[in-house]
Structure 1
Amino acid sequence: MRRQTANPPVSLKELAQHLRLSPTTVSRVVNQTPAAERIPEATQKRILAAAALMNYRPNAYARGLRHRRSFTVGVMVPEISEGYAAAVLSGIEDTLLQEEFFYFVVSHRHRAELLEGYPRLLLARAVEGIIAVDTPIRETLTVPVVAVSGHGKHKGMVTIELDHLSAARYALGHLAELGHRRIAFIKGQSFSSDTSARWGAIRKVCTETGLKQDPELVVQMQGAASGSEPGYLAARALLERKRPFTAIFAFNDMSALGAITALHEAGLHVPRDVSVVGFDDIPLAAAVHPGLTTVRQPLKEMGRIAAATLLSAIRGANGQTLPASIRVEPELVIRRSTSRLHTDRPGRQAR
């Protein structure tokens, strides 16, 4: 039995001849230009159906030359790995692929020379805009910039920000309802864009609710290592201080998972001895044992919003002025890493 093969690609001219339309009309539709809006919907559908049937492939390079554009954006991330950045990138990718934009991704691992050099490198590659994920942008650039979890302010820059105050209220309110008062905190590294905002929100909620903070129960993660190691080391430092606590609120999910490992090594059970709350709700949070209670950031949606906002800025947003910041709301996801405080355990330490 002879295998059927796909039709060989046709040129724009051949597609136009088949449809008995002008190449200009066909080009406007298949390349989704603004002028295509003036073409009747029935004609647009006929063109797109014929293009699919005849295996027509728009020439992206020619499209760029014709419009004097690259249809390319740059994305800067701290690292490309499982977790926060990967979830945000997934949303960015969904939107850019749908809009037929190409993108470069660069990871800087918080190295000063890369943070300074990458924006210029991306501009040299003719990107039309930049998305910075948990990455500081220290200067005003010549293209639109959208920052996810970025708190800097520059002309032409839009930030996608989480409501950290609501996030802190959800997490600390949940622990308070379970009876926890001696809560330890693992802060983010100093280079993270969210560290200051998140810690400020936590302190404000503690003041509002009368929850006392013990400086000995606050530790900041150090180093730029990826994964759970910084959280593991931070929890070890907490345990070495011999200060009793019944719960940990960690900066992110990976640090919370590292803390759980340190607690288990110290002979403590989660959540019977110590409850643990994370932040982000990465896929791994639901897969580990016990499942991690966490504050969910809509990471994929934040990526979609960032990409859509950047494309609006590139296209001029129909003359509209884009906001300086777009705020998204968190959600508390309760799993098995938190439980009600046992009154016979006023605060456990390493054995």
Structure 2
Amino acid sequence: MVKKKPESDLEQGPINLRQLSELLHLSQTTISLVLNDSPAAKSIPEHTRARVFEAARKFQYRPNYFARSLRRSKSMSVGVLAPDLSEGYFTLVMQGVEETLLRSHYFYFTASHYWQTELMREYPRMLAERAVDGYLLLNTPAAFSSPLPTVAISAHHDAAGVTNVVLDHHRAAELALRHLYELGHRHIAFVKGPEIIPDTEYRWKSILQVAKSLDIKVLPELSIQLPADSWSPEIGYQPMKALLERTRAFTAIFCFNDISAIGAIRAIHDAGLSVPGDVSVVGFDDIISAAYQKPSLTTVRQPLREMGSEGAQLLLALIADPKKPQPAEVLMQPELIVRESTGPAPARSGAGSKRTPAKRRTR
């Protein structure tokens, strides 16, 4: 039997696999299977796996595949996982992430998984092999277990040890729908996000709650479900074109993101209608190009750069002191940016008499 090592001897810093094995009275192979989230670990009792992760977090176990001499130091690097890093949402989030990490002299590895399940499981292992000090997940569920500090942005993942940075979606829905309501719109179409994106259901639930409070009906025939995650305006163009071919019984549309809103505006124009004369359009995110569309896009601004910065700061704080309590969730506040794509509901809609535009803010 392996003699159990006193915990007092392990308080001086990160421990290695052998020490963790002695502490837990488990073989190094068993611990490696658990910490690497190996398929073989499924045969290990849940309470044993939980004990391994608890001890690994407590004693700052970090696998080091480069040099045993680095056992008591940090690599000064983190792993960033994202679906992709194309223009739009991720561009702005990464600006905040990069600025914060660079100020702290931290290096980072980025990996795009494109929603492939195998990559979402494999990349964390590969990053651990590169001795990262923690993970930052962008719009990516924590589909793996790890003793390393982990912060998720817009992932809504309630895994133990994961701190979530999320938007107040109820407030976001309230800002957009009340803006349209005050412009006289009562017949509103909606673009729901792809099922695979974590934000989709949270935002949709908030939209339904706020619409009910305003007595706005969310009709299935006026609701579009985006089929896939894409950063091409085509994702909004084709569904909007199909909707207009079925019906024009709406005066406004609230889109899941700015990219789909840009595509929707083009489809509206191609159908011989005007924005906002015939249909008002509201986007979501406030990406860099939103202000430069024609017409410029009214949108719910996510503080994307601030969310990236906040996530990176939280991760660095966890790395510096893994035992310090951290919030399970940090709620970020949205802002309505009113531009040219929204206006009063046309008289033919039969909407109410409130036609005074909301106070406009331009960038």
Normalised by the length of structure 1, the TM-score is 0.78
Alignment correspondent of 2:26: none
Cα separation, 2, equivalents of 1:78 and 1:346: 43
Give the Cα–Cα distance (whole angstroms) in 2 for the partners of residues 66 and 120 of structure 1.
18
Q: CA deviation at 1:345?
A: 5.0
What is the aligned residue count?
285
Indicate the percent of aligned positions where both proteins have the same amino acid: 48
Aligned to 2:79, what secondary structure does the other structure show? strand
Which residue does the alignment assign to 1:58?
none
Instruction: Please point out which of 243, 267, 270 is paired with 1:262.
Output: 267
* Corresponding position of 1:154: 159
Tell me which residue corresponds to 1:68. 73
Q: Could you say which residue in structure 1 is the equivalent of 2:328?
A: 324
Structure 2 CA distance for aligned equivalents of residues 308 and 227 of structure 1 = 31
Are 1:250 and 2:223 counterparts?
Answer: no
1:334 maps to which residue?
Answer: 338
Aligned position for 1:48: none
> What is the RMSD of the two structures over their aligned residues, measured on CA atoms?
1.8
Query: Given the alignment of the two structures, is residue 271 of structure 1 paired with residue 276 of structure 2, yes or no?
Result: yes
- Is contact 1:110–1:224 with CA below 8 Å preserved after alignment? no
Post-superposition offset of 1:66:
8.2
Amino acid at match of 1:92: V
State the Cα distance separating 1:135 from its structure 2 match.
0.9
Larger C-alpha radius of gyration, 1 or 2?
Answer: 1
1:104-146 Cα offsets, whole Å, 9 max, x none, are: 0111111222112111111111111111111111233121111
Distance 1:167 1:345, change over 3 A: same
Aligned to 2:348, the other structure's residue is in SS state coil
Identify which of 308, 311, 321 aligns with 1:303: 308
Counterpart-to-counterpart distance in 2, 1:269 and 1:346: 18
The Cα of 1:268 is off from its aligned counterpart by 1.0
Corresponding residue of 2:34: none
SS in 2 for 1:344: helix
Paired with 2:272 and 2:82, the residues of 1 have a C-alpha distance of 37
Alpha-carbon separation, structure 2, partners of 1:75 and 1:324: 19
Q: How far 1:223 sits from its partner (Å)?
A: 2.5
Q: Which runs of 5+ in 2 are unaligned?
A: 1-65, 352-363
Taking the aligned partners of 2:113 and 2:190, their CA distance within structure 1 comes to: 27
- Please report how far the alpha carbon of residue 346 of structure 1 lies from its aligned counterpart in structure 2 after TM superposition: 5.3
Of 216-225 and 301-310, deviating more is 216-225
Read off the aligned partner of 2:208 and give its amino acid letter.
R
Q: 2:174 aligns with which of 146, 164, 169?
A: 169
Task: Confirm whether residue 79 of structure 1 aligns to residue 88 of structure 2.
Answer: no
Deviates more, 1:338-347 or 1:175-184: 338-347
Structure 1 residue 100: Cα displacement: 0.4
Which stretch has the larger CA shift, 141-150 or 162-171?
141-150
1:51 match: none
Per the TM alignment, residue 95 of structure 1 is displaced from its structure 2 partner at its CA by: 0.4
Q: 1:219–1:237: 8 Å Cα contact kept in structure 2?
A: no
Which whole-Å deviations, capped at 9, do the CAs of 1:230-261 have from their partners, x for residues lacking one? 11122122213225110010001111001111
Q: How far, CA to CA, are the matches of 1:270 and 1:346 in structure 2?
A: 18
Contiguous gaps of at least 5 residues in structure 1: 1-60
Distance in 2 (alpha carbons) for counterparts of 1:225 and 1:255? 9
